[in-house]
Amino acid sequence: MKVTLDISLMSKTKLPIRDLELVKEVLGDSRVTDWEIFEFDYPNCMFHELGIFVENYEMSKSTFTDDLNYLTQILVEIVEKISTDVEIIATDDDNGNFVDEYQKDFENVEKCTFFVTKRKLNHKLFYVSEQKTHVYVNFKYTSLKLYFDL
pLDDT, tens digit, for every residue of 46-101?
A: 999 999 999 988 888 888 889 889 999 999 999 999 999 999 999 887 778 889 99
**Residue 61 belongs to domain with CATH number:** 3.30.70.260
pLDDT reported for residue 145: 60
The residue segments making up the domain with residue 9 are 2-147
Residue 85: Cβ within 10 Å count = 13
Q: How far apart are the first and last CA of the chain?
A: 15
Contacts of 138 (CB under 8 A, 6+ apart): 110, 111, 112, 113, 125
pTM for the full model? 0.90
CA distance 2 to 147: 11
Number of domains the chain is built from: 1
